[in-house]
Structure 1
Amino acid sequence: MSLITDLARLEAVQSGRAQAVATVRHRHLSQRPLVLVPLITAGEAGAPLGALVGTERTSPRLLVVPQPRDRDLRFAFLAELAGVVLPYVDGFASEVETAERAETDPGTGKRVKVEVELCADAPQLIVPSRSGIEFVRLLGRSMRFRRTAEQDPEAPYPAPPHVPLLGRWLTHFGERARVPGSALLLAMTDLLSRHWATGQSTLEDQHLGALLAWIEAPDGTSGAEAALRAELSRDAAGQLVCPPAGPATDPAFDNQLLAPAIERYDKARAAVSAAEDAVEADIRMGELAAAERAVHALVESRTRPTWDAVWRGLDALCTLPEGPRATERWTRDRWSFTGHRDRVAAGEPPQPRRDDAVTAANKLATREREQARLDAQEALDDPLVMAGRRLTGEAFAGEVTESVPAYNEKNRPRPLITVRTDDAPHLGERTMVYRSLDGKPQAAEFVSYDEEGGVVLRVLDKMGRGKEPEPGSVPEKGDTVCFTLFEHEQRGGPKLPDPEETPWTHGGPPRTDEAGAPVPEAPDAMTSEDLL
Structure 2
Amino acid sequence: MSAISAYARARAVDAGRAFPIATRRHVHLAERPLVFVPLAMAGEANAPLAAMLGTDATKPTLLVVPQPRNRDLRFAFAAELAALVLNYIRSCTQRVEMSGNDRVFSDAPQLLVPNPAGVGFVKLLGRSTRFRRTTGPYPVPAQVPMLGRWLTHLAERADHPGSSALLAMTSALGLHWASGQSALEDANLAALLGWISPPDGVTGFAAAIAAEDPLIWPPAGPSTDPTFDNEVLAPAIRAYDKAAPDSPQRIRAFARLERDLHSQFEPTWRLMWRAIDTLRELPVAAGVEARWTSDRRDFTNYHDYLTSDGRRQARHDGAVTAARRLQRLEREQATYDATRALDDPLVMANYRITGEAFEGTVVEVDRDRRIVSDKGRRVTRPLIVVRTGDPVDLASGTTLQAPSHPKQTATIVELRRETDAAYVTLQLQGGMGSSAVPPPGSVPELDEDTTYTSAYPEGFRTPELPPIDQTPWTHGGPPQPYVPTDDDAQEVWE
1:203-242 equivalences in 2 (<5 Å): 203-231=184-212, 233=213, 240-242=215-217
Secondary structure (helix, strand or coil) at the match of 1:419 reads: strand
Aligned twin of 2:411? 444
Give per-residue Cα distances to partners, 1:366-389, cap 9 Å, x unaligned: 111111111111111111111222
How far the C-alpha of 1:95 sits from its partner, in A, is 1.2
Q: Secondary structure at the match of 2:103?
A: strand
Aligned twin of 2:106: 120
Do the aligned residues in 2 keep the contact of 1:130 with 1:190 (CA within 8 Å)?
yes
CA contact (8 A) 2:131 2:489 kept: no
Distance 1:117 1:461 in 2: 30
- Alignment match, 1:508: 477
Shift of 1:311: 0.6
* Structure 1 residues 490 and 420: CA distance shift in structure 2, 3 A: closer
Task: Evaluate the alpha carbon distance shift between residue 87 and residue 81 of structure 1 in structure 2; reply closer, same or farther with a 3 A threshold.
Answer: same
Are 1:413 and 2:380 counterparts? Answer: yes
Q: Distance in 2 between matches of 1:341 and 1:523?
A: 26
Structure 2: distance between partners of 1:222 and 1:175: 38
Deviation at 1:75, TM superposition (A): 0.8
Counterpart residue identity of residue 33, structure 1? P
Matched letter for residue 502 of structure 1: T
Q: Using the TM superposition, give the Cα deviation of residue 86 of structure 1 relative to its aligned residue in structure 2, in angstroms.
A: 0.1
1:63 and 1:77 in contact (8 A); partners too = yes
For 1:448 and 1:290, the matched residues in 2 are separated by: 78
> Are residues 352 and 126 of structure 1, via their aligned partners in 2, closer, same or farther at CA, if it must alter by over 3 Å?
same
Shift of 1:9: 0.6
AA matched with 1:465: S
Q: Kindly indicate whether residue 247 of structure 2 is the aligned counterpart of residue 285 of structure 1.
A: yes
Separation in structure 2 between the aligned mates of residue 294 and residue 44 of structure 1, nearest angstrom? 22
* Contact kept in structure 2, 1:146 and 1:523, CA below 8 Å: no
Q: Which residue of 1 aligns with 2:464?
A: 495
Which digits, 9 at most, give the CA deviation of each residue in 1:201-259, with x for residues without a partner?
0000001111111112134322112111111x25xxxxx32111100011111111111
Cα distance change, pair 226–70 in 1 and its aligned pair in 2 (3 A): same
1:99/1:14 Cα in 2 relative to 1: closer, same or farther (>3 Å)? closer
2:338 alignment counterpart: 376
When the two structures are aligned, how many residues end up with a matched partner? 486
Task: Report the more deviating stretch, 486-495 or 335-344.
Answer: 486-495
* 1:484 has 2:484 as partner: no
CA distance in 2, matches of 1:453, 1:364: 38
More deviation, 419-428/117-126: 419-428
Runs of 4+ displaced beyond 3 Å: 436-439, 450-453, 520-523
Q: CA deviation at 1:500?
A: 2.2
Change (3 A) 1:523 1:347: farther
1:251-293 Cα offsets, whole Å, 9 max, x none, are 1111111111100110003xx4xxxxxxxxxxx7111100111
How far, CA to CA, are the matches of 2:490 and 2:390 in structure 1? 63
Cα distance between partner residues in 1 of 2:477 and 2:174: 43
- TM-score (norm. length: structure 2): 0.94
Distance of 1:526 and 1:96 partners within structure 2: 38
Give the whole-Å Cα distance in 1 for the aligned partners of 2:437 and 2:408: 20
Instruction: Give me the whole-angstrom Cα distance separating, in 1, the residues matched to 2:489 and 2:276.
Output: 42
Deviations 1:483-516 (A, max 9, x none): 112233254522322222223332332324xxxx
The normalised TM-score by structure 1 is: 0.88
CA shift at 1:23, angstroms? Answer: 0.8
Separation (CA, whole Å) in 2 of partners of 1:229 and 1:437: 45
Alignment of 1:49-60 (within 5 A): 49-60=49-60
Q: Which residue, out of 290, 305, 317, partners 1:343?
A: 305
**8 Å contact kept, 1:445–1:460:** no
Between the aligned partners of 2:417 and 2:268, the Cα distance in structure 1 is 59
Q: Does 1:177 align with 2:144?
A: no
Are 1:365 and 2:346 an aligned pair? no
Please give the per-residue CA displacement for 1:124-157, whole angstroms capped at 9, x wherever unaligned. Answer: 00000000000000000001100102xxxxx210
Aligned equivalent of 1:202, options 183, 192, 216: 183
Structure 2: gaps (5+ residues)? none
8 Å Cα contact 2:63/2:80 also seen in 1 = yes
Q: 1:248 aligns with which of 216, 220, 223?
A: 223
Asked whether the 8 Å contact 2:412–2:424 carries over to 1, the reply is no
Distance in structure 2 (CA, Å) of the matches to 1:356 and 1:26: 33
Distance 2:255 2:218 in 1: 20
SS at match of 1:140: helix
Q: Distance in 2 between matches of 1:217 and 1:413?
A: 56
For 2:144, the equivalent position in structure 1 comes to: 163
- Tell me how large the CA RMSD over aligned residues is: 1.9
Alignment partner, residue 304 of structure 1: 266
5+ unaligned residues in a row in structure 1: which ranges? 101-114, 150-154, 235-239, 273-283, 513-517
The answer to whether the Cα contact below 8 Å between 1:448 and 1:457 also exists between their aligned partners in 2 is no
Supply the distance in 1 between the matched residues of 2:148 and 2:406 (Cα, whole angstroms).
39
1:279 corresponds in structure 2 to none
2:318 corresponds to? 356
1:390 equivalent to 2:352? Answer: yes
The superposition leaves residues 420-471 of structure 1 with CA deviations (integer Å, 9 ceiling, x where unpaired) of 2111111222222221355424233232327774222222333332332233
Equivalent-residue separation in structure 2 for 1:383 and 1:147 (angstroms): 52
Query: Which entry has the higher C-alpha Rg, 1 or 2?
Result: 1
Contact 1:40–1:48 (Cα < 8 Å) also in 2: yes
Relative distance call for 1:490 and 1:84 in structure 2 (3 A) is farther
For the residues of structure 2 that align with 1:26 and 1:473, how far apart are their CA atoms?
Answer: 27
**Aligned AA (1:58):** T
Distance 1:37 1:208, change over 3 A: same
The separation in 1 between residues aligned to 2:300 and 2:108, in whole angstroms, is 8
Is the Cα contact below 8 Å between 1:407 and 1:414 reproduced in 2? yes
Q: Which amino acid aligns with 1:35?
A: V
Q: Could you say if the C-alpha distance between residues 72 and 203 of structure 1 is closer, same or farther in structure 2, counting changes exceeding 3 Å?
A: same
* 1:424 is the counterpart of 2:405: no
Please say which of residues 119-128 and 212-221 is displaced more in the overlay: 212-221
Give the share of equivalent positions with the same residue, in percent: 50
Aligned to 1:262: 237
1:407 positional shift: 2.4
**Cα distance in 1 for residues equivalent to 2:461 and 2:151:** 28
Contact 1:432 1:446 in 2 (8 A): no
Distance in 2 of aligned mates of 1:525 and 1:463: 59
